[in-house]
Structure 1
Amino acid sequence: MRVAIVGAGPTGLVAANLLGQAGIETLLLERNAGLGEQPRAITIDDEGLRICQAIGLADEICAHALLKREAHYVSQGRYLARIAPTQQPYGHPQISTFYQPALETIFLRGLERFPSVSTSFGQVLESFTQDAHGVRLQLRSQDGRMQTIDCDYLLACDGGRSGIRQQLQIALRAPGLHELFLSPISQPHHISKRQSRQPRRQRTQRWLVVDTIDNGDGKDPIIFFCNPARPAVTVPSPNGGRRWEFMLKAHEHEEQWLDDERIASAIQQALQTLPEPTATQQHTQSARILRKTVYTFHATVAKSFAVGCVFLLGDAAHLMPPFGARV
């Protein structure tokens, strides 16, 4: 059996490690020349760390990560909630943060343990076909050369704009509340099957994402600023890093929010709503901006996770905005 994985992000890299452990012939394909250099994902829960343990990389990941983070929800100088998990039902802290380029490097090095796994960067999937015998991929290298590869299964780990999902014509839809919080067997009786099949309008949010170095000590909590006028999140990351995210309003222009002075003002306004002085305020005064960009986040789930021998994984299958994806 041979499996092809398209996309060398965290999902694709973990899938390749799992398949390598099973001794399954695996080819990991990535359109870029190397791993991503920018942090995107930043938090991991206990179930995620349990998967890292399953592939034998938990010690390396935990040595890099900020473990046992608290999550504080604040509004107008008051705490709405303080979440500080002490139990570890899966054997790992329930809230931790990481630096994605370092995480992916650990995952990629992990593949060196498995002779059944090979990687190929700079390969673009142009198209694919499948039949009863498997899947045939048409690949284009960065120098324009074309090649054909056959496999038994194809895993689409190619992100939120998944070209594989688009070729399969799998639509995205907004999940209902009962899908977010309840399993199918515990679905409330007042939600009929007909209601659950009704299409919902996809929800999109634009968020300013700013990565900084503020030389924090790594003890700060994740803070959700529950301000209806400007929801925001700040997340400490390893090596003195910090992520800030601010939701933009529909009428606001992205260019205005990429100004350093505007960013500094937004951070200070958020910090002023904290219930009490914290180390976060002190560290942020000398913060240095490393990256600033505006993302459009979606709350969507694919209508199907598989067609034949092709499977959607990670962001190709579902997306969630910051306030829904943290803890």
Structure 2
Amino acid sequence: MESYQAIISGLGLTGGLLANLLGACGMKVAVIERDAKFLGRSCTMTADYEAQRAFHMAGLAGPIEAEFYPHPGTEYLGGGGKFIKALSCKSDPFSLCWRPSFILHQPTLEGILRNGLNRFKNVHVFLGESVKRFAQDGDEVVVTTQHPNHGQRLFRGQYLLGCDGASSAVRRGMKSSLDDLGLDEWWVAVDAYVRTDARLPERCVRYCYPGRPGAYIVGPGHIRRWEMKIMPYEDPDQFNDSKYTRRILTNFVDTNLIDVLQTKAHRIRGLVAKRWRSGRVFLLGGAACQMPPFLGEESCSGFQDAFNFAWKLNSVILGGADSSVLDTYAKERRPQACAAVESAKCLSLVVGELDGNIALQRDELLVAGVKAVAQPLVLQPMGSRLRAGLIARGVGDYKRAAGALFPQPWVETSGGKKRLDDVVRWGFYVVSLDEELAQIAACEFAGVPVLADSKVVLVGASVAVREQILCVSGRNLDLKSWFDAFGVRIAIVRPDGFAYGAANTSRQLRALIKSLLLALSRTNGTAIHPL
């Protein structure tokens, strides 16, 4: 029985990204996927700049960026087709060096993630295997799988990571129940190719029609998606009839202009697992949280789970950090997932209102709200902020910035223009506007094994003041705005781009570094392994 540092159950979007991240760290990983063949579901999906940042750290941003379609913005139409409001997309420069929102063809993305695993001899993929049961003790997890032709197989690993979706076998094995956040609707999605002579909206559209709420999503190339709410008087099985589906679809498009690829009725829920960890077993993605797709957060939440967990597992297995660091995964991600579900649920209630009188009042309120705003409304991903977990605690300047998402601008280095993530790679890092504070951070980090490889970046200097300090120059307006907003001069940033904390004085900085060491360190630790 071969041993692995991590066993991943599920090779969908979340499991695929997680396997690439851990593979890039150098971990020995087994990926167990129940489907023997890549199904390649035809559909569009939305992702954001945090997802692309994770793809970048996995070494896949290039091929993914070549395939995505910039989000064109969204229009909202009320009863009778009346225009309510429009959301435009932010233009360059982007605070994380990536577009805030973009649209992808999901099978293409899944293919890129799967092909990315071919880079790693340390990642082994087992297709057609289903997790049947698992047992764990203080040192390892033993997983039993079932293959239809080859029978049962045993896998031994340090950790089991359940990325196996809504019907997760890992979650069932953990006996983790689901919290219902109060949404239960049926919608039908129709993916189609649009013929070249079709004239359709350039932007995505939310049809807030009380008689039939729906949505139109612009995908890459000629791919488009329509989503329609299944009414209380309908049975989801009615949409198995292509004639019935086409008749309903005529509310939104001339069906003679499209070639339908697939039609799928799906139940939309807001469900979050009570427990995301049981000893050496963890839940990620759809296994941990099932959310409405209305804000594009369904897949993005899984990507954030993967990135959050990957760097922490890297720091524990290869970096000498204490295993208690893994406890912060659920403390951070579960509240964020619950907040995303609540936001998507609110949008569902707005778009999906079926009472004509209430819908009319809604339209009037939304129109008035748009008129009250002097500037055009800009489409932005949900703001991420950590309120608990592996962030600085206490009072003072460093507490105020703790948990905020740190910008990733383009910076000018001695090696040319680079993204900040390429300069610091995957360890904790420091960004400072103050030379003295940067030198203190470099000295403190150099003497601590668990942080010895962490980078210190000094903004605005052209000549290195210490060998360990990377000097960057350029306009860096996003960096200046971030520091000004919190009134600080130096920040310690986590590998996933969230600020651990920030400081203004040498005393605050030393206290901040001490608190980080207490959270990470254990005896005989070594430096956190960079990607």
Structure 2 residue 100 is matched with structure 1 residue 94 = yes
Which residue in the other structure is 1:290 paired with? 261
**Aligned residue type for 1:233:** A
CA RMSD of aligned residues (A): 2.1
SS at match of 1:97: strand
1:316 to 281, 287, 307: 287
1:234 maps to which residue?
216
RCO (CA 8 Å, sep 6+): is it higher in 1 or 2?
1
Q: 2:179 & 2:203 partners in 1: Cα distance?
A: 33
1:213 aligns with 2:193: yes
Give the match for residue 165 of structure 2.
159
Residue 285 of structure 1 deviates from its aligned partner by 4.4
What is the CA distance between 1:113 and its match in structure 2?
1.5
Counterpart residue identity of residue 78, structure 1 = K
Q: Which segment drifts farther, 10-19 or 100-109?
A: 100-109
- Distance, in Å, in 1 between the alignment partners of 2:95 and 2:201 is 22
Residues 133-157 of structure 1 show CA distances to partners (whole Å, capped at 9, x for unaligned) of 1110001112041111110001100
In structure 2, the partner of 1:131 is 137
| Cross-structure match for 1:67 | 70
| Residues 1:82 and 2:81 are matched in the alignment | no
2:28 to 25, 28, 50: 25
SS of the aligned residue for 1:33 comes to: coil
Which letter maps to 1:31?
R
How far off its partner does 1:293 sit? 1.8
CA deviation after TM superposition for structure 1 residue 260, in Å: 3.1
* Cα gap change, 1:90 to 1:174, in 2 (>3 Å): farther
> Which segment is superposed worse, 55-64 or 87-96?
87-96
What's the offset of the Cα at 1:78? Answer: 2.7
After superposition, give the CA deviation of every residue in 1:55-112 in whole Å (9 maximum; x if it has no partner). Answer: 1111211111212331222213233331112242222122211111111111111112
Equivalent residue in structure 2 for 1:249, among 231, 244, 250: 231
Aligned to 1:58: 61
How far apart are the structure 1 equivalents of 2:75 and 2:186?
23
Q: Look up the SS of the partner of 1:59 in the other structure.
A: helix
Shift of 1:54: 1.4
Superposed, 1:131-280 pairs within 5 Å as 131-175=137-181, 202-215=182-195, 220-270=202-252
Are the structure 2 counterparts of residues 306 and 69 from structure 1 closer, same or farther at C-alpha, using a change threshold of 3 Å?
farther
Q: What secondary structure is seen at the aligned counterpart in 2 of 1:119?
A: strand
Q: Is the 8 A contact 1:60 1:106 kept in 2?
A: yes
Q: Secondary structure at the match of 1:98?
A: strand
Q: Distance in 2 between matches of 1:324 and 1:50?
A: 19
Q: Deviations over 1:7-32 (max 9, x none)?
A: 01010010001001110110111011
**Residues 117 and 287 of structure 1, relative CA distance in 2, 3 Å threshold:** same
Larger Rg: 2
Q: 1:210 to 1:110 in 2, by over 3 A?
A: same
State the Cα distance separating 1:41 from its structure 2 match.
6.0
Q: Distance in 2 between matches of 1:321 and 1:105?
A: 24
Equivalent pair of 1:212/1:290 in contact (CA under 8 Å): yes
| Separation (CA, whole Å) in 2 of partners of 1:143 and 1:11 | 27
- TM-score of the superposition, structure 1-length normalised? 0.82
Q: Tell me how far apart the structure 2 counterparts of residues 46 and 78 of structure 1 sit (CA, whole Å).
A: 32
What SS class does the counterpart of residue 160 from structure 2 fall into?
strand
TM-score with structure 2 length normalisation?
Answer: 0.52
Contact 1:69–1:95 (Cα < 8 Å) also in 2: no
Q: CA deviation at 1:219?
A: 8.0
Q: Provide the C-alpha distance between the structure 2 equivalents of 1:305 and 1:97, rounded to a whole number of angstroms.
A: 29
Cα distance in 2 for partners of 1:90, 1:215 equals 35
The question of whether the paired residues in 1 share the 8 Å contact of 2:45 and 2:296 is answered with: no
The alpha carbon displacement at 1:254 in A equals 2.2
Deviation, structure 1 residue 161: 1.1
The percent of aligned pairs where both chains have the same amino acid is 28
Structure 2 SS opposite 1:42: strand
Aligned partner letter, 2:234 = E
Q: Is 2:43–2:225's contact at 8 Å kept on the other side of the alignment?
A: no
* Contact 2:44 2:219 (8 Å CA) reproduced: no
Asked if 2 retains the 8 angstrom alpha-carbon contact of 1:222 and 1:236, the reply is yes
* Matched position secondary structure for 2:70: coil
2:350 corresponding residue in structure 1: none
Q: Name the aligned partner's letter for residue 132 of structure 1.
A: G
1:322 is paired with a residue whose SS is coil
Unaligned runs of 5+ in 2: 298-380, 382-531
Which amino acid letter does the alignment assign opposite residue 203 of structure 1?
A: L
Whole-angstrom CA distance in 2 between matches of 1:307 and 1:122: 26
2:271 counterpart SS class: strand
Tell whether the 8 Å contact from 2:42 to 2:261 is kept in structure 1 after alignment.
no
Deviations along 1:159-186, one digit per CA (max 9) or x if unpaired, are 01111111211111134xxxxxxxxxxx
Tell me the distance in 1 between the aligned counterparts of 2:159 and 2:84.
47
Q: Which whole-Å deviations, capped at 9, do the CAs of 1:206-265 have from their partners, x for residues lacking one?
A: 111111111469982221112233221121222311111111123312233333343333
1:34 aligned partner? 37
Confirm or deny: 8 A CA contact 1:127 1:139 kept in the other structure. Answer: yes
CA 1:43–1:325: 2 relative to 1, 3 Å: closer
Mean Cα deviation higher: 300-309 or 214-223: 214-223
Contact residue 215 and residue 241 of structure 1 kept, 8 A: no
Q: Secondary structure at the match of 1:298?
A: strand
Asked whether the equivalents of residues 9 and 32 of structure 2 are also in contact (C-alpha less than 8 Å), the reply is: yes
Q: Which has the higher helix share?
A: 2
Judged with a 3 Å threshold, the aligned counterparts in structure 2 of structure 1 residues 151 and 219 are, in CA distance, closer, same or farther, namely farther
Q: Which runs of 5+ in 1 are unaligned?
A: 176-201, 272-280
Cα pair 1:9 1:35 within 8 Å, conserved = no
